[in-house]
């Protein structure tokens, strides 16, 4: 009796195991003989912004804060996810902008390789390819783009399409006046010439690149504007203060005024990305 039961188990067990394999193969979309419905569903999974500091030229980089701002040249790194039920083989994509003609795609690397169901691909990881095989789209955001402008990137991949909605945000830098030093004037005829040193501070959340004073003015009719060329202060990091230099805006006043004399000078400050700030300084002039 015991021998009979053992033989029965040995005979039945292989049959059950074999039947289970057959059932799996018939219902597995990855099997070449699968006869069911193939679902293709590639979607953008995630993205991040890379805006590293470039050379000291327009449209050469960003301010390294990971935010899209006007005047920047940046890269958007993209990953795809396969939400379908079959392998997406040798996925190559192309991108175009459906909105905002003042934003341009200048370059891209959108090869994702093979993507299994529920798998995420950041690119084909070809070490010898551009960006070591991580998928990206390079953009130039024109200085004319208004902050808070929306734009859309359309991604076509293997006959499928998905969109990425983005925002050109206001720059995080905030440039303010941080005091002024007024030095002894130079007397020439009946006028006194002043060249104050203006202090400028960044109280924002991101650095500002290549800040310069591009103009100045005063509502005070006693202020006579002297010759002036733009005075560059360079990059200003968060919390940093810099002072104007030898090209600091200069002016003259009549030596017949009653001194000490109080007045206001307004500076127009601009950075590499075309952002402008108006700064007002109260000065006390003495002979």
Residue 3 has pLDDT above 70, yes or no: no
**Per-residue pLDDT, 26:** 57
3-state secondary structure of 180: strand
Q: What six digits make up the tokens of 144? A: 């004319």
In 10 A of CB 196, how many CB atoms?
Answer: 19
In 10 A of CB 116, how many CB atoms?
Answer: 13
Contacts (Cβ under 8 Å, ≥6 apart) of 97: 103, 104, 105, 151, 152, 153, 154
> What does the alpha-carbon distance between residue 69 and residue 167 come to, in Å, rounded to a whole number?
9
Residue 33 has pLDDT above 80, yes or no: no
Mean pLDDT of 16-25: 43
pLDDT-derived band at 34 (thresholds 50, 70, 90) equals confident
Write down the residue that tokens 């950041």 correspond to. Answer: 122
Superfamily for domain range 175-285 = Immunoglobulins (2.60.40.10)
DSSP state of 130: G
Residue 21 has pLDDT above 70, yes or no: no
Tell me, yes or no, if the two domains 42-168 and 175-285 fold the same way: yes
pLDDT-derived band at 144 (thresholds 50, 70, 90) equals very high
3-state secondary structure of 207: coil
The domain ranges of the chain are 42-168, 175-285
DSSP 61-105: ---SSSS--TT-EEEEEEEEEE-SSS-EEEEEEEEEESS-TTEEE
pLDDT greater at residue 30 or residue 191: 191
Alpha helices in 206-262 (DSSP H): none
Laid out side by side, the sheet with 160-168 consists of 111-115, 88-97, 149-157, 160-168
**Tens digit of each residue's pLDDT (9 = 90 or more) over 77-128:** 999 999 999 999 999 999 999 988 899 999 999 999 999 999 999 999 999 9
Superfamily for domain range 42-168 = Immunoglobulins (2.60.40.10)
Global confidence as pTM: 0.82
> What does the alpha-carbon distance between residue 53 and residue 59 come to, in Å, rounded to a whole number?
10
């Amino acid at each position: 009796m015991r021998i009979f039961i053992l033989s029965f188990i040995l005979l039945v067990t292989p049959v059950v195991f074999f039947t289970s394999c057959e059932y799996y193969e018939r219902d597995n979309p990855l099997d070449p003989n699968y006869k069911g419905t193939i679902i293709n569903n590639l979607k953008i999974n995630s993205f991040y912004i890379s805006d590293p500091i470039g050379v000291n030229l327009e449209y050469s980089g960003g301010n390294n804060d990971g935010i899209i701002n006007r005047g920047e040249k940046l890269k958007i790194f993209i990953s795809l996810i396969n939400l379908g039920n079959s392998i997406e083989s040798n996925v190559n994509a192309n991108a175009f902008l459906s909105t905002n003609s003042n934003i341009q795609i200048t370059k891209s690397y959108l090869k994702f390789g093979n993507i299994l169901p529920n798998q995420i691909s950041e690119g084909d990881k070809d070490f010898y390819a551009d960006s070591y095989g991580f998928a990206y789209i390079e953009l130039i955001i024109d200085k004319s783009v208004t902050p808070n402008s929306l734009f859309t990137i359309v991604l076509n991949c293997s006959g499928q399409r998905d969109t990425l909605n983005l925002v050109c945000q206001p720059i995080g830098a905030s440039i303010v006046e941080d005091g002024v030093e007024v030095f002894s004037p130079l007397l020439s005829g009946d006028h006194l010439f002043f060249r104050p040193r203006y202090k400028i501070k960044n109280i924002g959340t991101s650095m500002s690149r290549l800040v310069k004073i591009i103009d100045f003015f005063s509502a005070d009719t006693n202020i006579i504007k002297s010759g002036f060329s733009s005075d560059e202060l360079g990059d200003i990091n968060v919390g940093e203060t810099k002072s104007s230099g030898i090209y600091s805006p200069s002016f003259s006043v009549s030596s017949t005024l009653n001194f000490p004399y109080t007045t206001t000078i307004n500076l127009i400050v601009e950075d590499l990305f075309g952002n402008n700030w108006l700064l007002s300084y109260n000065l006390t002039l003495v002979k």
